[in-house]
Amino acid sequence: MLDFSKVNGALAGKLVIDLSRVLGGPYCTQILADHGAEVIKIEPPRGDETRDWGPPYHDDDAAYFIGVNRNKRSMGLDLTQEQGRAVLLRLLEKADVLVENFKPGTMEKWGLCYETVLKEKFPSLIHCRVSGFGSDGPLGGLPGYDAIVQGMTGWFSINGEAESNPTRLGLAMVDMGTGLYSAIAILMAVVEREKSHLGQYLDMTLYDCALALMHPHIVNYNFSGDIPVATGNAHPNISPYDTFRTKTTDVYIGAGNNRAFAKLCKELNRLDLIDDPRFQNNIDRVNNRSDLKSELESSLVKIDGGELCVRLGKAGLAAGPIHDTAQAVNHPHTLHRNMRVEDDWYKMTGTPIKLSRTPGSMRSKPPKYGAHSRQLLQEFGFPDEEIKNLLEADIVLEKRRS
């Protein structure tokens, strides 16, 4: 039997079977794992392909894989074989949640359809599917990847400088956003199950989540009819809300209302701008954002940017220097917030979800492929002879198939 007694966290006692690969699904399940869920990562014979998405690597696993697979145990399992699917069904007998991101129709082809099989066998199971576009509709069943969906849902068109070509966002935020939405959906279903004692099917798509994240551009279009365009670092609805040059470093300043703008002008000793008719209200500042930026930078270029940001912050204004990745990782506040986790070779971001009584934790490093295959079969009550046969037949694997 599985022993959850030594696990702490808000989700301690919940068992998640994770069939997902790449980013969206694994990011979702790492969130659950960080907060106490027992996550069993089931990998196909060749493994999660992101193990190869380097450089950089540690011990043959890419940093890309390492970043979203801590606090999990790994089993290699060939689900294309009937015996492999039989093993999965035995694991699901104890599971609370199943997460997968196969192409729609794959689970059905394997005889693992939620509606006709899984719901009947495991009525309390929560089955979360992450796909590109869902299984039906004009794009149903098509493969979806982060950058493709970014382009299709308008992200490229509003990213970059005004004169640049449509540009991919430098983060896989469609994948990661879908992972976040999926984690929220799973938690909602877990809470609802406390009342109904029933599981349900969660239909999560990159396409839907990317559209939901297109704020405020979609609502701006819906209410104005104007197609949003790239505005560089400037906010489409607020000014000043942009990067500015200073004597030492570029900074980002946000002043979202008249009171904040007046404070900014006072801190810069530019009281003349407060009553300037070009800048009296936000709509004026948006319409004259180029003039405003020039006026502000004429003062800012004489000031140390780092010191200014501290001074503005203490005055109640949002401002910060533009950092590169190294500066962000090594910043004292990053360390103070426990957002840098180090354990021997493992160096990663911490959990951003801070719970006072049941905090998340890093209990184990990302697993090597199939590192727990034998152990897991034993814990789920498979007899020794059956374990030996499954391993010899390569139904259950401890090493990646080449």
Catalytic (active-site) positions: 175
- Please report where in the chains the tokens 């400088």 appear, as a residue: 161
**CB-based contacts of 95, cutoff 8 Å, min separation 6:** 15, 16, 17, 122, 125
Measured CA distances, 102 to 56, 76, 80, 108, 342 (Å): 27, 16, 12, 10, 33
First to last CA, the chain: 33
B/e letters for 306-340, b = 16+ CB within 10 Å, e = fewer, are eebbeebeeeebebebeeeeeeeeeeeebeeeebb
The answer to whether 108 and 74 have CB atoms below 8 angstroms apart is no
Q: Where are the alpha helices (DSSP H) in 46-92?
A: 63-66, 82-92
Report the Cα 222 to chain-centroid distance in Å. Answer: 27
E-assigned strand segments in 132-221: 201-205
- Please report where in the chains the tokens 């986790």 appear, as a residue: 341
Dist. CA 178–CA 360, nearest whole Å:
21
Tokens of 327: 């500066």
Count of positions (residues) in the chain: 402
Three-state SS at 245? coil
Burial class (CB in 10 A: 0-12, 13-18, 19+), 345: exposed
Three-state SS at 299? helix
